[in-house]
Amino acid sequence: MDEEKTSPIKVVGRKGTPKIDAEAIDSMQRMVNELRKGRPFVPKGVFRFKSFEEADKWLLEMQTRPKNPEIQR
């Protein structure tokens, strides 16, 4: 009789405490935002590439380019 009264809910897992401390990351995120000064890592828009390798190469160049465009490597 007791089995009929309980609903057939199966618990698969339990939500635990978060693995990442958001307060510890907050100061680092603020520093990164200050260093970037609102500039994105990668230009926004739609870009077309012939291969994944070409896209990866372009992405790496964009992430490692100098902040001052007048400076040539």
Segment 23-62, tens digit of pLDDT: 878 888 888 888 777 777 778 889 999 999 999 999 998 8
How confident is residue 70, by pLDDT bands cut at 50, 70 and 90? low
pLDDT higher than 60, residue 3: no
Binning the chain into helix, strand and coil, the percentages to the nearest 5 are 45, 0, 55
The answer to whether residue 20 scores a pLDDT higher than 80 is: no
Task: Quote the CA–CA distance of 49 and 30 in Å, as a whole number.
Answer: 33
Residues in Cβ contact with 58 at an 8 Å cutoff, skipping those fewer than 6 apart? 47, 49
Does the pLDDT value for residue 2 go beyond 80?
no
Round to whole Å and give the CA distance between 71 and 19: 42
